[in-house]
Amino acid sequence: MLDLEQLETDILARLEAAESEAALEEIRIETLGKKGSISEKMKSLGKMTPEERKEAGPALNGLKTRVGDAIAARKDVLKAAALDARLKAETVDITQPVRSGPADRGRVHPISQVMDELTAIFADMGFSIAEGPDIETDFYNFTALNIPDEHPARQEHDTFYFNEKEDGSRMVLRTHTSPVQIRTMQSVTPPIRVICPGRTYRCDSDQTHTPMFHQVEGLVIDKEANLGNLKWTLQEFCKTFFEVESVEMRFRASHFPFTEPSMEVDIRCERVGNELRIGEGDDWLEILGCGMVHPNVLRNCGLDPDEVQGFAWGIGIDRIAMLKYGMPDLRAFFNADTRWLNHYGFRPLDLPTLFGGLSA
């Protein structure tokens, strides 16, 4: 019996020292398992005389019960301690700021933002959005726009061409969004008032040019559209886009195959360090090209230039984004650098509106 007392003392001491449920399970197996110390002693009852069994049986059963109860009690203690430790580790300090979610961390690319700004401005003027394919035929990209066969824009050093087809024709990556104007004039009965934003492609790459860039063109076709309407439209656009009270513009004669007369437009500005201030100062900055739609273009679209006329303009979205938001290098727009996007990007829920502010 002294052996059982010592065995119980040793087991209870081990249970008290156990610091994890895994260690507790190991003790249970060593004592109450099939080959455990108490189980082995239970097996010896069969070899005892009836008198010995009568004394040892109750003692062993009592020991087994007490050890089992002690294991269960220690298990409850360890579970409670583990729960307390977990609760302490997972405690939330409600005095700390809430972690920002995707809506706060995400950023809208400046190109997407400026496209939304353009849409808001011209939609308020009654313009709709027209789109077309990035891969175009020679007719839509050049011929329909009155661009002659020998024009430099048709050369491979300026335009991305695809391989020749069996009939000798070659598709191109559109060099401007003007093909969308052609498709619109072919499919829509005047009056027409649309803007055509989208990607365009040219063989060029430097600080202010990339092989793929973004452009928006505008087109108005009706019976009375004139240069006065064009000037007012561009002035209102520039004032609203650059968010200034007034803009002084200078129209210079130029030449584009698809407009006649053709003009390049400068806006008055002032450079103060790295800052460009629109609408003030004594400097001028070229910003876009425009003109009255050439009669040949109208004829190529099935319209009668004696019945309708119109004006068109084109401007680089990337360029005006750089001017408005002070971005020095166009190539950074397409480098997928999250640091740049975090700096120049816009919060996703801050949608540009005319009454709330375009860049608020």
Q: Which two tokens stand for residue 221?
A: 């076709």
pLDDT tens track for 339-353: 888 888 888 877 777
The amino acid at 123: A
Quick one: pLDDT band at residue 207, thresholds 50, 70, 90? Answer: low
**SS3 of residue 348 by DSSP:** coil
Can you tell me the distance from the alpha carbon of 72 to that of 170, in angstroms, rounded to the nearest whole number? 83
Quick one: pLDDT band at residue 1, thresholds 50, 70, 90? Answer: low
**SS3 of residue 252 by DSSP:** strand
State the Rg of the chain over Cα.
Answer: 41
Range with lowest mean pLDDT among 96-100, 106-110, 120-124: 96-100
pLDDT tens track for 58-101: 877 787 888 888 888 888 888 888 888 888 888 777 787 777 77
Instruction: Determine contact, residues 235/251, Cβ cutoff 8 Å.
Output: no
Can you tell me the distance from the alpha carbon of 58 to that of 45, in angstroms, rounded to the nearest whole number? 11
Asked if pLDDT for residue 217 goes beyond 80, the answer is yes
Tokens 């059982």 correspond to 4
- Give the Cα-Cα-Cα angle 280, 284, 287 (nearest 5 degrees): 105
